[in-house]
A = this chain, B = another copy of it.
Amino acid sequence: MKRWNGWGDDSINVGLPEDGIRFLKEITGEPTPPEKATRDITYEEALRLVGPSRLEGMPGVDTSAEARLWHARGQSLPDWLSLRQGIGLDFPDAVAFPESEEDVRRLLTLAAEKNAVVMIYGGGTSVVGHINRPKGDRAVLVLDLSRMNRLLHFDPVSRLARFQAGVAGPDVERQLAPHGMMLGHFPQSYEYSTLGGWVAARSSGQQSLYYGRIEDQFAGGRVITADAEINLPLHPASAAGPDLRQVLLGSEGRMGVITEVTVRARPIPEAEEFHGVFFPDWKRAEAFARAAVQNRLPLSMMRLSSARETFVTLSLAGHASLIKWMERYLALRGVGEGKCLLIVGFTGTKAHVSHTKKITMHLASKYNGVSLGQKLGSAWKKNRFRGPYMRNSLWEMGWAVDTLETAVPWDKVTDGVSRIEEALQKAAMDEAGERLLVYTHLSHLYGSGSAIYTTYVFRAQATPEKTLQLWKRMKDAASRAIVEMGGTISHQHGVGRDHSPYLPAEKGEVGMKWLESMIKTADPKGLFDTGNLTQR
Protein backbone atom coordinates (compact mmCIF):
# COMPACT_ATOMS: atom_id res chain seq x y z
CA MET A 1 0.00 0.00 0.00
CA LYS A 2 0.95 3.66 -0.31
CA ARG A 3 3.56 4.89 2.18
CA TRP A 4 2.18 7.36 4.70
CA ASN A 5 5.58 8.98 5.25
CA GLY A 6 7.54 8.46 2.08
CA TRP A 7 7.25 7.96 -1.64
CA GLY A 8 5.04 5.48 -3.37
CA ASP A 9 4.01 1.90 -2.69
CA ASP A 10 5.68 0.24 0.29
CA SER A 11 6.06 -2.99 -1.67
CA ILE A 12 8.51 -1.20 -3.95
CA ASN A 13 12.04 -0.64 -2.71
CA VAL A 14 14.73 0.75 -4.97
CA GLY A 15 18.04 -0.05 -3.31
CA LEU A 16 21.55 1.17 -3.99
CA PRO A 17 24.27 -1.19 -5.20
CA GLU A 18 27.28 -1.62 -2.89
CA ASP A 19 29.62 0.41 -5.11
CA GLY A 20 26.97 3.11 -5.26
CA ILE A 21 26.90 3.33 -1.48
CA ARG A 22 30.72 3.27 -1.31
CA PHE A 23 30.89 6.05 -3.90
CA LEU A 24 28.37 8.17 -2.00
CA LYS A 25 30.28 7.72 1.28
CA GLU A 26 33.52 8.76 -0.42
CA ILE A 27 31.91 12.07 -1.30
CA THR A 28 29.74 12.95 1.70
CA GLY A 29 31.45 10.90 4.38
CA GLU A 30 29.85 8.21 6.56
CA PRO A 31 26.16 8.96 7.23
CA THR A 32 24.24 8.18 10.42
CA PRO A 33 21.06 6.16 9.85
CA PRO A 34 17.90 7.51 11.54
CA GLU A 35 17.69 4.90 14.28
CA LYS A 36 21.17 5.92 15.45
CA ALA A 37 20.34 9.64 15.24
CA THR A 38 16.71 10.61 15.86
CA ARG A 39 14.59 7.62 14.89
CA ASP A 40 11.56 8.06 12.61
CA ILE A 41 8.24 8.28 14.43
CA THR A 42 5.77 5.44 13.90
CA TYR A 43 2.37 5.74 12.21
CA GLU A 44 0.71 5.36 15.63
CA GLU A 45 2.88 8.09 17.13
CA ALA A 46 2.02 10.34 14.19
CA LEU A 47 -1.70 9.69 14.68
CA ARG A 48 -1.38 10.65 18.34
CA LEU A 49 -0.04 14.07 17.22
CA VAL A 50 -3.33 14.82 15.46
CA GLY A 51 -5.26 17.25 17.68
CA PRO A 52 -9.00 17.95 17.84
CA SER A 53 -10.68 19.13 14.63
CA ARG A 54 -12.31 22.52 14.37
CA LEU A 55 -14.66 21.15 11.76
CA GLU A 56 -16.03 18.33 13.93
CA GLY A 57 -19.60 17.61 12.92
CA MET A 58 -19.42 19.22 9.48
CA PRO A 59 -21.64 17.00 7.31
CA GLY A 60 -19.98 14.86 4.65
CA VAL A 61 -16.39 15.37 5.74
CA ASP A 62 -13.88 13.05 7.40
CA THR A 63 -12.31 14.38 10.60
CA SER A 64 -10.57 11.14 11.55
CA ALA A 65 -6.93 11.31 12.58
CA GLU A 66 -6.07 8.95 9.73
CA ALA A 67 -7.61 11.13 7.02
CA ARG A 68 -6.01 14.25 8.48
CA LEU A 69 -2.57 12.63 8.78
CA TRP A 70 -2.72 11.26 5.24
CA HIS A 71 -3.43 14.76 3.93
CA ALA A 72 -0.97 16.61 6.16
CA ARG A 73 2.06 16.87 3.89
CA GLY A 74 3.40 16.62 0.37
CA GLN A 75 6.77 15.30 -0.79
CA SER A 76 9.19 18.18 -0.23
CA LEU A 77 12.18 17.60 2.00
CA PRO A 78 10.67 19.63 4.86
CA ASP A 79 7.51 17.57 4.41
CA TRP A 80 9.59 14.42 4.82
CA LEU A 81 11.25 15.71 7.95
CA SER A 82 7.85 16.54 9.41
CA LEU A 83 6.37 13.14 8.68
CA ARG A 84 9.47 11.08 9.35
CA GLN A 85 10.56 12.82 12.50
CA GLY A 86 7.44 14.62 13.61
CA ILE A 87 8.90 18.12 13.65
CA GLY A 88 6.51 21.01 13.09
CA LEU A 89 3.82 18.60 11.99
CA ASP A 90 0.32 20.06 11.77
CA PHE A 91 -2.89 18.85 10.19
CA PRO A 92 -5.97 20.03 8.32
CA ASP A 93 -9.20 19.96 10.32
CA ALA A 94 -11.11 17.77 7.90
CA VAL A 95 -10.91 16.04 4.55
CA ALA A 96 -13.75 15.77 2.05
CA PHE A 97 -13.91 13.49 -0.98
CA PRO A 98 -16.35 15.13 -3.41
CA GLU A 99 -17.66 12.93 -6.22
CA SER A 100 -19.43 15.60 -8.24
CA GLU A 101 -19.56 19.33 -8.87
CA GLU A 102 -22.66 19.43 -6.67
CA ASP A 103 -20.57 17.98 -3.84
CA VAL A 104 -17.90 20.61 -4.46
CA ARG A 105 -20.46 23.45 -4.39
CA ARG A 106 -22.03 22.12 -1.21
CA LEU A 107 -18.63 21.77 0.49
CA LEU A 108 -17.57 25.28 -0.54
CA THR A 109 -20.77 26.66 0.98
CA LEU A 110 -20.22 24.74 4.22
CA ALA A 111 -16.60 25.89 4.37
CA ALA A 112 -17.62 29.50 3.78
CA GLU A 113 -20.16 29.29 6.60
CA LYS A 114 -17.42 28.11 8.95
CA ASN A 115 -14.92 30.60 7.49
CA ALA A 116 -12.65 27.65 6.78
CA VAL A 117 -9.82 27.78 4.26
CA VAL A 118 -10.35 25.30 1.42
CA MET A 119 -7.22 23.50 0.26
CA ILE A 120 -7.49 21.49 -2.95
CA TYR A 121 -5.69 18.16 -2.99
CA GLY A 122 -4.85 16.12 -6.07
CA GLY A 123 -2.24 13.40 -5.71
CA GLY A 124 -0.42 14.94 -2.77
CA THR A 125 2.86 14.98 -4.68
CA SER A 126 3.74 18.68 -4.31
CA VAL A 127 7.41 19.29 -3.56
CA VAL A 128 7.01 23.00 -2.82
CA GLY A 129 4.54 23.02 0.07
CA HIS A 130 1.28 23.48 -1.82
CA ILE A 131 -0.79 21.29 0.46
CA ASN A 132 0.56 21.98 3.93
CA ARG A 133 -1.76 23.54 6.48
CA PRO A 134 -1.86 27.28 5.81
CA LYS A 135 -0.69 29.70 8.50
CA GLY A 136 -3.37 31.43 10.55
CA ASP A 137 -6.24 30.54 12.82
CA ARG A 138 -8.88 29.59 10.30
CA ALA A 139 -10.03 25.98 10.14
CA VAL A 140 -8.76 24.08 7.10
CA LEU A 141 -10.85 21.83 4.90
CA VAL A 142 -9.04 19.65 2.36
CA LEU A 143 -10.90 18.83 -0.85
CA ASP A 144 -9.42 15.55 -2.04
CA LEU A 145 -10.59 15.21 -5.66
CA SER A 146 -9.39 11.62 -6.10
CA ARG A 147 -12.96 10.36 -6.53
CA MET A 148 -13.59 12.72 -9.43
CA ASN A 149 -11.62 10.58 -11.83
CA ARG A 150 -13.83 9.74 -14.81
CA LEU A 151 -13.54 10.41 -18.53
CA LEU A 152 -16.80 12.28 -19.19
CA HIS A 153 -16.66 12.65 -22.96
CA PHE A 154 -14.37 11.90 -25.86
CA ASP A 155 -14.77 13.59 -29.26
CA PRO A 156 -12.81 11.49 -31.77
CA VAL A 157 -13.09 14.12 -34.51
CA SER A 158 -11.56 16.97 -32.52
CA ARG A 159 -9.59 14.53 -30.37
CA LEU A 160 -10.78 16.32 -27.24
CA ALA A 161 -11.24 14.36 -24.00
CA ARG A 162 -13.17 15.84 -21.07
CA PHE A 163 -12.13 14.46 -17.70
CA GLN A 164 -13.06 15.07 -14.10
CA ALA A 165 -10.04 16.87 -12.74
CA GLY A 166 -9.12 14.46 -9.94
CA VAL A 167 -8.05 11.70 -12.32
CA ALA A 168 -4.51 10.40 -11.74
CA GLY A 169 -2.00 9.88 -14.55
CA PRO A 170 -2.45 6.13 -15.03
CA ASP A 171 -6.26 6.49 -14.98
CA VAL A 172 -6.08 9.14 -17.68
CA GLU A 173 -4.28 6.73 -19.98
CA ARG A 174 -6.40 3.75 -18.93
CA GLN A 175 -9.58 5.56 -19.98
CA LEU A 176 -8.19 6.93 -23.23
CA ALA A 177 -6.65 3.63 -24.37
CA PRO A 178 -9.94 2.01 -25.48
CA HIS A 179 -10.29 4.92 -27.92
CA GLY A 180 -6.79 4.23 -29.24
CA MET A 181 -5.72 7.54 -27.74
CA MET A 182 -3.43 8.82 -25.03
CA LEU A 183 -2.40 12.07 -23.35
CA GLY A 184 1.29 11.37 -22.76
CA HIS A 185 1.78 13.60 -19.74
CA PHE A 186 4.56 11.91 -17.77
CA PRO A 187 6.00 13.92 -14.90
CA GLN A 188 8.07 11.83 -12.46
CA SER A 189 5.04 11.95 -10.15
CA TYR A 190 2.86 10.48 -12.93
CA GLU A 191 1.65 7.47 -10.93
CA TYR A 192 0.02 9.68 -8.29
CA SER A 193 -0.35 13.25 -9.55
CA THR A 194 -3.63 14.30 -11.16
CA LEU A 195 -4.79 16.09 -14.28
CA GLY A 196 -6.25 18.98 -12.28
CA GLY A 197 -3.02 19.21 -10.31
CA TRP A 198 -1.01 19.35 -13.51
CA VAL A 199 -3.10 22.29 -14.71
CA ALA A 200 -3.09 24.07 -11.36
CA ALA A 201 0.70 23.78 -11.04
CA ARG A 202 1.71 24.03 -14.75
CA SER A 203 3.22 20.60 -14.86
CA SER A 204 5.45 19.31 -17.62
CA GLY A 205 6.02 15.68 -18.55
CA GLN A 206 9.21 13.89 -19.52
CA GLN A 207 8.08 13.70 -23.15
CA SER A 208 6.77 17.25 -23.42
CA LEU A 209 8.88 17.63 -26.57
CA TYR A 210 6.34 15.38 -28.30
CA TYR A 211 3.15 15.56 -26.21
CA GLY A 212 3.53 19.18 -25.11
CA ARG A 213 3.49 20.80 -21.70
CA ILE A 214 0.15 20.85 -19.88
CA GLU A 215 -0.35 24.36 -21.34
CA ASP A 216 -0.43 22.78 -24.79
CA GLN A 217 -2.60 19.85 -23.73
CA PHE A 218 -5.15 21.84 -21.71
CA ALA A 219 -7.88 22.84 -24.18
CA GLY A 220 -10.40 24.19 -21.69
CA GLY A 221 -12.48 23.18 -18.72
CA ARG A 222 -14.52 24.24 -15.77
CA VAL A 223 -13.68 25.89 -12.48
CA ILE A 224 -16.00 26.36 -9.53
CA THR A 225 -15.18 29.46 -7.54
CA ALA A 226 -16.58 30.53 -4.17
CA ASP A 227 -19.71 31.96 -5.76
CA ALA A 228 -19.50 31.43 -9.52
CA GLU A 229 -18.36 29.18 -12.33
CA ILE A 230 -15.74 29.65 -15.00
CA ASN A 231 -16.20 27.81 -18.28
CA LEU A 232 -13.11 27.87 -20.46
CA PRO A 233 -14.15 27.29 -24.09
CA LEU A 234 -12.42 24.79 -26.38
CA HIS A 235 -11.25 27.16 -29.10
CA PRO A 236 -8.24 25.72 -30.92
CA ALA A 237 -6.87 29.26 -30.87
CA SER A 238 -8.24 32.74 -30.32
CA ALA A 239 -7.35 36.42 -30.64
CA ALA A 240 -10.20 37.49 -28.38
CA GLY A 241 -8.20 39.20 -25.66
CA PRO A 242 -5.97 37.64 -22.99
CA ASP A 243 -6.13 33.84 -22.77
CA LEU A 244 -7.89 32.98 -19.51
CA ARG A 245 -6.73 29.36 -19.66
CA GLN A 246 -3.32 30.83 -18.97
CA VAL A 247 -4.66 32.41 -15.78
CA LEU A 248 -5.99 29.10 -14.47
CA LEU A 249 -2.78 27.35 -15.49
CA GLY A 250 -0.63 27.93 -12.44
CA SER A 251 -3.48 29.21 -10.27
CA GLU A 252 -2.50 26.65 -7.60
CA GLY A 253 -5.89 26.43 -5.98
CA ARG A 254 -6.17 30.17 -5.29
CA MET A 255 -8.99 30.95 -7.74
CA GLY A 256 -11.32 28.01 -7.42
CA VAL A 257 -11.69 24.27 -7.83
CA ILE A 258 -10.82 22.97 -11.28
CA THR A 259 -13.51 20.32 -11.68
CA GLU A 260 -13.26 19.48 -15.37
CA VAL A 261 -10.31 19.48 -17.73
CA THR A 262 -10.59 18.89 -21.46
CA VAL A 263 -7.33 17.76 -23.01
CA ARG A 264 -6.04 17.38 -26.55
CA ALA A 265 -5.51 13.65 -26.90
CA ARG A 266 -3.08 11.93 -29.26
CA PRO A 267 -3.24 8.52 -30.90
CA ILE A 268 -1.27 5.77 -29.22
CA PRO A 269 1.95 5.72 -31.24
CA GLU A 270 2.86 2.77 -33.40
CA ALA A 271 6.47 2.79 -32.26
CA GLU A 272 8.69 4.25 -29.56
CA GLU A 273 12.39 3.95 -28.80
CA PHE A 274 14.72 5.50 -26.25
CA HIS A 275 18.43 5.56 -27.00
CA GLY A 276 21.54 6.39 -25.00
CA VAL A 277 24.10 8.57 -26.75
CA PHE A 278 27.42 9.60 -25.20
CA PHE A 279 29.30 12.79 -26.05
CA PRO A 280 32.99 13.39 -25.25
CA ASP A 281 32.28 16.50 -23.16
CA TRP A 282 29.59 18.91 -22.03
CA LYS A 283 30.46 21.51 -24.65
CA ARG A 284 29.72 19.18 -27.53
CA ALA A 285 26.77 17.52 -25.78
CA GLU A 286 25.08 20.87 -25.07
CA ALA A 287 25.79 22.08 -28.59
CA PHE A 288 24.19 18.96 -30.05
CA ALA A 289 21.12 19.13 -27.84
CA ARG A 290 20.62 22.78 -28.68
CA ALA A 291 21.07 22.14 -32.40
CA ALA A 292 18.63 19.23 -32.27
CA VAL A 293 15.87 21.25 -30.64
CA GLN A 294 16.58 24.42 -32.64
CA ASN A 295 16.52 22.41 -35.87
CA ARG A 296 13.20 21.02 -34.66
CA LEU A 297 14.12 17.36 -34.93
CA PRO A 298 10.76 15.70 -34.17
CA LEU A 299 12.00 13.88 -31.05
CA SER A 300 9.82 12.84 -28.15
CA MET A 301 12.32 13.59 -25.40
CA MET A 302 15.89 14.56 -24.61
CA ARG A 303 17.52 14.32 -21.22
CA LEU A 304 21.12 15.48 -21.15
CA SER A 305 23.20 14.66 -18.08
CA SER A 306 26.21 16.71 -17.04
CA ALA A 307 29.55 14.89 -16.83
CA ARG A 308 29.04 14.49 -13.09
CA GLU A 309 25.48 13.19 -13.39
CA THR A 310 26.65 10.81 -16.08
CA PHE A 311 29.40 9.54 -13.76
CA VAL A 312 26.92 9.19 -10.88
CA THR A 313 24.35 7.44 -13.06
CA LEU A 314 26.94 4.88 -14.12
CA SER A 315 28.30 4.51 -10.59
CA LEU A 316 24.88 3.97 -9.02
CA ALA A 317 23.66 1.71 -11.80
CA GLY A 318 25.25 -1.48 -10.56
CA HIS A 319 26.38 -3.86 -13.35
CA ALA A 320 29.92 -2.59 -12.71
CA SER A 321 31.55 -5.03 -15.12
CA LEU A 322 29.07 -4.36 -17.91
CA ILE A 323 29.72 -0.66 -17.53
CA LYS A 324 33.46 -1.23 -17.51
CA TRP A 325 33.22 -2.89 -20.91
CA MET A 326 30.93 -0.13 -22.15
CA GLU A 327 33.45 2.47 -21.09
CA ARG A 328 36.28 0.60 -22.79
CA TYR A 329 34.27 0.66 -26.00
CA LEU A 330 33.50 4.37 -25.61
CA ALA A 331 37.16 5.13 -24.88
CA LEU A 332 38.10 3.51 -28.17
CA ARG A 333 35.58 5.82 -29.84
CA GLY A 334 37.23 8.83 -28.19
CA VAL A 335 34.67 9.20 -25.41
CA GLY A 336 36.26 8.98 -21.97
CA GLU A 337 36.65 11.11 -18.86
CA GLY A 338 34.09 13.95 -18.82
CA LYS A 339 31.64 12.19 -21.12
CA CYS A 340 27.97 13.21 -21.03
CA LEU A 341 24.99 10.91 -21.46
CA LEU A 342 22.01 11.94 -23.54
CA ILE A 343 18.83 9.90 -23.44
CA VAL A 344 16.85 10.61 -26.58
CA GLY A 345 13.35 9.36 -27.42
CA PHE A 346 11.65 8.73 -30.75
CA THR A 347 7.87 8.34 -30.90
CA GLY A 348 5.38 7.96 -33.77
CA THR A 349 4.87 5.73 -36.76
CA LYS A 350 7.54 3.12 -37.46
CA ALA A 351 8.57 5.13 -40.52
CA HIS A 352 8.78 8.34 -38.47
CA VAL A 353 10.86 6.68 -35.76
CA SER A 354 13.37 5.18 -38.16
CA HIS A 355 13.61 8.38 -40.23
CA THR A 356 14.03 10.60 -37.16
CA LYS A 357 16.55 8.22 -35.63
CA LYS A 358 18.61 8.40 -38.80
CA ILE A 359 18.74 12.20 -38.99
CA THR A 360 19.32 12.47 -35.25
CA MET A 361 22.26 10.09 -35.19
CA HIS A 362 23.66 11.79 -38.27
CA LEU A 363 23.58 15.12 -36.44
CA ALA A 364 24.97 13.55 -33.24
CA SER A 365 27.98 12.20 -35.11
CA LYS A 366 28.92 15.76 -36.06
CA TYR A 367 29.36 16.40 -32.32
CA ASN A 368 31.26 13.14 -31.84
CA GLY A 369 28.25 11.52 -30.23
CA VAL A 370 28.42 7.74 -29.89
CA SER A 371 25.16 5.82 -29.60
CA LEU A 372 24.97 2.72 -27.42
CA GLY A 373 21.56 1.88 -28.79
CA GLN A 374 18.51 1.16 -26.67
CA LYS A 375 20.13 -0.49 -23.61
CA LEU A 376 20.46 2.66 -21.48
CA GLY A 377 17.35 4.21 -23.01
CA SER A 378 15.19 1.25 -22.08
CA ALA A 379 16.70 1.27 -18.59
CA TRP A 380 15.72 4.93 -18.31
CA LYS A 381 12.19 4.12 -19.49
CA LYS A 382 11.86 1.23 -17.06
CA ASN A 383 12.90 3.44 -14.14
CA ARG A 384 11.40 6.72 -15.29
CA PHE A 385 9.06 6.92 -12.30
CA ARG A 386 11.36 5.13 -9.84
CA GLY A 387 13.64 8.03 -8.97
CA PRO A 388 11.63 9.15 -5.94
CA TYR A 389 11.75 5.64 -4.46
CA MET A 390 15.49 6.08 -4.06
CA ARG A 391 14.73 8.74 -1.46
CA ASN A 392 13.27 6.09 0.82
CA SER A 393 16.36 3.87 0.69
CA LEU A 394 18.77 6.81 1.01
CA TRP A 395 16.88 8.05 4.04
CA GLU A 396 17.13 4.65 5.70
CA MET A 397 20.91 4.89 5.31
CA GLY A 398 21.07 8.43 6.69
CA TRP A 399 21.04 10.52 3.54
CA ALA A 400 18.57 13.21 2.57
CA VAL A 401 18.02 14.02 -1.09
CA ASP A 402 16.28 16.92 -2.78
CA THR A 403 15.99 18.30 -6.30
CA LEU A 404 15.42 21.76 -7.73
CA GLU A 405 14.86 23.13 -11.19
CA THR A 406 14.62 26.24 -13.32
CA ALA A 407 14.67 27.28 -16.97
CA VAL A 408 16.86 29.88 -18.68
CA PRO A 409 17.72 30.95 -22.24
CA TRP A 410 20.45 28.91 -23.92
CA ASP A 411 23.15 31.54 -23.44
CA LYS A 412 22.76 31.10 -19.66
CA VAL A 413 22.41 27.33 -19.45
CA THR A 414 26.00 26.14 -18.96
CA ASP A 415 26.92 28.92 -16.55
CA GLY A 416 23.60 28.42 -14.77
CA VAL A 417 24.33 24.77 -14.05
CA SER A 418 27.60 25.65 -12.28
CA ARG A 419 26.09 28.56 -10.40
CA ILE A 420 23.32 26.42 -8.94
CA GLU A 421 25.63 23.55 -8.00
CA GLU A 422 28.19 25.91 -6.46
CA ALA A 423 25.52 27.78 -4.47
CA LEU A 424 24.36 24.48 -2.96
CA GLN A 425 27.90 23.28 -2.19
CA LYS A 426 28.99 26.56 -0.64
CA ALA A 427 25.86 26.78 1.53
CA ALA A 428 26.34 23.20 2.76
CA MET A 429 29.98 23.84 3.60
CA ASP A 430 29.35 27.19 5.29
CA GLU A 431 26.36 25.98 7.29
CA ALA A 432 27.49 22.53 8.40
CA GLY A 433 30.86 21.77 6.84
CA GLU A 434 29.08 19.16 4.73
CA ARG A 435 30.14 17.95 1.30
CA LEU A 436 27.29 17.26 -1.10
CA LEU A 437 26.81 14.94 -3.95
CA VAL A 438 25.28 17.29 -6.50
CA TYR A 439 24.60 16.71 -10.20
CA THR A 440 22.45 18.13 -12.96
CA HIS A 441 20.69 17.34 -16.21
CA LEU A 442 18.76 19.31 -18.79
CA SER A 443 15.27 17.85 -18.53
CA HIS A 444 13.16 19.87 -20.98
CA LEU A 445 14.65 21.54 -24.03
CA TYR A 446 13.21 24.41 -26.06
CA GLY A 447 14.35 26.43 -29.04
CA SER A 448 15.16 29.44 -26.89
CA GLY A 449 16.46 27.72 -23.77
CA SER A 450 16.35 24.77 -21.45
CA ALA A 451 15.20 23.55 -18.08
CA ILE A 452 17.94 22.75 -15.56
CA TYR A 453 17.27 19.98 -13.05
CA THR A 454 19.68 19.56 -10.13
CA THR A 455 19.78 16.77 -7.57
CA TYR A 456 21.68 17.02 -4.27
CA VAL A 457 22.33 14.40 -1.65
CA PHE A 458 23.60 15.22 1.83
CA ARG A 459 23.90 13.56 5.23
CA ALA A 460 21.02 13.86 7.67
CA GLN A 461 22.23 15.95 10.60
CA ALA A 462 22.31 15.07 14.30
CA THR A 463 18.81 16.50 14.81
CA PRO A 464 15.93 16.99 12.36
CA GLU A 465 16.01 20.71 13.17
CA LYS A 466 19.65 20.86 12.06
CA THR A 467 18.84 18.92 8.88
CA LEU A 468 15.98 21.29 8.12
CA GLN A 469 18.16 24.31 8.80
CA LEU A 470 20.87 22.97 6.47
CA TRP A 471 18.28 22.33 3.75
CA LYS A 472 16.85 25.83 4.17
CA ARG A 473 20.28 27.38 3.66
CA MET A 474 20.95 25.33 0.54
CA LYS A 475 17.49 25.86 -0.96
CA ASP A 476 17.66 29.58 -0.28
CA ALA A 477 21.16 29.88 -1.76
CA ALA A 478 20.14 28.02 -4.91
CA SER A 479 16.91 30.01 -5.25
CA ARG A 480 18.84 33.26 -4.97
CA ALA A 481 21.30 32.06 -7.60
CA ILE A 482 18.39 31.21 -9.91
CA VAL A 483 16.72 34.58 -9.43
CA GLU A 484 20.02 36.42 -9.90
CA MET A 485 20.69 34.70 -13.22
CA GLY A 486 17.18 35.63 -14.40
CA GLY A 487 15.88 32.06 -14.32
CA THR A 488 12.33 31.17 -13.41
CA ILE A 489 11.87 30.00 -9.84
CA SER A 490 10.15 26.92 -11.24
CA HIS A 491 9.99 25.25 -14.63
CA GLN A 492 7.75 22.37 -13.57
CA HIS A 493 7.11 22.17 -9.80
CA GLY A 494 5.13 25.34 -9.28
CA VAL A 495 5.38 27.99 -6.57
CA GLY A 496 3.44 26.80 -3.53
CA ARG A 497 4.76 28.28 -0.28
CA ASP A 498 8.43 27.37 -0.69
CA HIS A 499 8.94 29.43 -3.86
CA SER A 500 6.52 32.27 -3.18
CA PRO A 501 9.19 34.58 -1.70
CA TYR A 502 11.00 34.45 -5.04
CA LEU A 503 7.99 34.97 -7.30
CA PRO A 504 8.00 38.81 -7.21
CA ALA A 505 11.51 38.75 -8.69
CA GLU A 506 10.13 37.39 -11.96
CA LYS A 507 6.57 38.70 -11.96
CA GLY A 508 7.48 42.23 -10.98
CA GLU A 509 5.37 44.71 -9.05
CA VAL A 510 2.60 45.05 -11.62
CA GLY A 511 2.66 41.30 -12.20
CA MET A 512 2.15 40.57 -8.52
CA LYS A 513 -0.64 43.14 -8.37
CA TRP A 514 -2.25 41.42 -11.33
CA LEU A 515 -2.02 38.08 -9.61
CA GLU A 516 -3.51 39.45 -6.42
CA SER A 517 -6.31 41.20 -8.27
CA MET A 518 -7.14 38.05 -10.25
CA ILE A 519 -7.26 36.05 -7.03
CA LYS A 520 -9.34 38.72 -5.33
CA THR A 521 -11.74 38.81 -8.28
CA ALA A 522 -12.27 35.05 -8.34
CA ASP A 523 -12.16 34.62 -4.57
CA PRO A 524 -13.22 37.89 -2.89
CA LYS A 525 -13.72 36.29 0.54
CA GLY A 526 -10.41 34.42 0.56
CA LEU A 527 -12.01 30.98 0.73
CA PHE A 528 -8.93 29.54 -1.01
CA ASP A 529 -6.48 31.67 0.90
CA THR A 530 -3.79 29.02 1.36
CA GLY A 531 -0.83 31.31 0.78
CA ASN A 532 0.22 29.50 -2.37
CA LEU A 533 1.70 31.86 -4.99
CA THR A 534 1.33 35.16 -3.14
CA GLN A 535 2.13 34.50 0.56
CA ARG A 536 -1.19 36.44 0.99
Chain A: residues with CB nearer than 8 A to chain B?
Answer: 155, 157-160, 201-204, 213, 215, 219, 225, 228-231, 233-244, 246-252, 264, 290, 294, 296, 298, 348, 351, 355, 359, 407-411, 444, 446-451, 486-495, 499, 503, 506-511, 513-515, 517-518, 520-522, 533
Q: Do B506 and A517 touch (CB < 8 A)?
A: no
A215 CB to closest chain B CB, in angstroms?
8
Q: For residue A237, which residues in chain B have a CB less than 8 angstroms away from its CB?
A: 204, 213, 407, 444, 446, 449, 451, 488, 491
Name A449's contact: one of B225, B234, B408, B410 (CB within 8 Å): B234
A56 to B449, CA, bound (A): 49
A489-B159 contact given A231-B508, A264-B447, A514-B521, CB 8 Å threshold? no
Residue of B nearest to A215 (CB): B243
Q: For residue A492, which residues in chain B have a CB less than 8 angstroms away from its CB?
A: 239
Interface centre among A155, A235, A348 (most CB of B within 10 A): A235
A448 to B213, CA, bound (A): 16
Q: For residue A513, which residues in chain B have a CB less than 8 angstroms away from its CB?
A: 521
Q: For residue A298, which residues in chain B have a CB less than 8 angstroms away from its CB?
A: 296, 298
Q: Do B202 and A407 touch (CB < 8 A)?
A: no
Interface centre among A238, A248, A450, A521 (most CB of B within 10 A): A238
Q: Do A236 and B409 touch (CB < 8 A)?
A: yes
Q: Do B236 and A157 touch (CB < 8 A)?
A: no
Q: For residue A508, which residues in chain B have a CB less than 8 angstroms away from its CB?
A: 229-231
A134 CB to closest chain B CB, in angstroms?
17
A451 to B235, CA, bound (A): 9
A534 CB to closest chain B CB, in angstroms?
9
Q: Do A236 and B446 touch (CB < 8 A)?
A: yes
A203 to B238, CA, bound (A): 9
Q: Do B489 and A240 touch (CB < 8 A)?
A: yes
A228 to B512, CA, bound (A): 13
Q: For residue A521, which residues in chain B have a CB less than 8 angstroms away from its CB?
A: 510, 513-514, 517
A209 CB to closest chain B CB, in angstroms?
11
Q: Do A488 and B238 touch (CB < 8 A)?
A: yes
Q: Do B448 and A264 touch (CB < 8 A)?
A: yes
24 A/B residue pairs, CB under 8 Å, sorted by A:
A155-B409, A202-B240, A215-B243, A225-B510, A233-B506, A234-B486, A235-B488, A236-B408, A236-B447, A236-B451, A238-B490, A238-B506, A239-B488, A239-B490, A239-B493, A240-B499, A240-B507, A241-B494, A241-B507, A243-B246, A243-B249, A264-B447, A510-B521, A517-B517
A213 to B239, CA, bound (A): 10
Q: For residue A409, which residues in chain B have a CB less than 8 angstroms away from its CB?
A: 155, 157-158, 160, 234-236
A241-B495 contact given A236-B407, A508-B230, A517-B517, CB 8 Å threshold? yes
Residue of B nearest to A451 (CB): B237
Interface centre among A225, A244, A493, A508 (most CB of B within 10 A): A244
Q: For residue A296, which residues in chain B have a CB less than 8 angstroms away from its CB?
A: 298, 348
Q: For residue A236, which residues in chain B have a CB less than 8 angstroms away from its CB?
A: 407-409, 446-451
Q: For residue A294, which residues in chain B have a CB less than 8 angstroms away from its CB?
A: 159
A252 CB to closest chain B CB, in angstroms?
7
Name A235's contact: one of B230, B239, B240, B407 (CB within 8 Å): B407
Residue of B nearest to A500 (CB): B241
Q: Do A239 and B491 touch (CB < 8 A)?
A: yes
Q: For residue A247, which residues in chain B have a CB less than 8 angstroms away from its CB?
A: 242, 246-247, 514
Q: Do A510 and B251 touch (CB < 8 A)?
A: no
A159 to B450, CA, bound (A): 13
A533 CB to closest chain B CB, in angstroms?
5
Residue of B nearest to A511 (CB): B244
A275 CB to closest chain B CB, in angstroms?
21
Q: Do A155 and B230 touch (CB < 8 A)?
A: no
A296 to B239, CA, bound (A): 23
A433 CB to closest chain B CB, in angstroms?
33
Q: For residue A486, which residues in chain B have a CB less than 8 angstroms away from its CB?
A: 233-234
Name A250's contact: one of B243, B355, B491 (CB within 8 Å): B243
Q: Do A228 and B515 touch (CB < 8 A)?
A: no
Q: Do B488 and A242 touch (CB < 8 A)?
A: no
A517 to B408, CA, bound (A): 30
Q: Do A506 and B240 touch (CB < 8 A)?
A: yes
Q: For residue A242, which residues in chain B have a CB less than 8 angstroms away from its CB?
A: 246-251, 515, 518
A157 to B415, CA, bound (A): 13
Q: For residue A450, which residues in chain B have a CB less than 8 angstroms away from its CB?
A: 236
